[in-house]
Amino acid sequence: MPRQQSGEPFERIDVVDGKDLLEKNRLKWIDVREPAEWEQGHIPGATLVPLNNLLLSPRQYLTGDGVVFYCAQGIRSAVACDMAAAVGLTDIYNLEGGIQEWMSRGFPVEV
């Protein structure tokens, strides 16, 4: 179940809730890892935007609300969530545990 920690402008979701949101296909998924990590496997339908690129030009990549950010474990994606909030987005999610937790559950990935 999504949860928002005190003072955070985004919601934290676990991979089970994330998979449910992915299946409903109502949100944009952004992977903030590096290209070499992406090539090892990523969530189907996600877009690669390395965190440094996002931080340098956030408005180029963040064109609307309804975004789930993820990385390897959920740390870089939390930074991305803060950046998204700084440019005015309000419907923002961080995938806790990242793709590592996603894959450990056997959820689908593309290579």
Residues annotated as part of the active site: 71
Q: How far is residue 77's CA from residue 7's CA, in Å, rounded to a whole number?
A: 17
Q: What are residue 96's phi and psi, to 5 degrees?
A: -70, 135
Question: Mind giving me the DSSP string for 54-79?
Answer: HHH-HHHH--SS-EEEE-SSSSHHHH
Could you tell me the CA-to-CA distances from 86 to 10, 27, 47, 111 in Å, in that order? 11, 19, 20, 32
Could you tell me the CA-to-CA distances from 68 to 82, 98 in Å, in that order? 12, 11
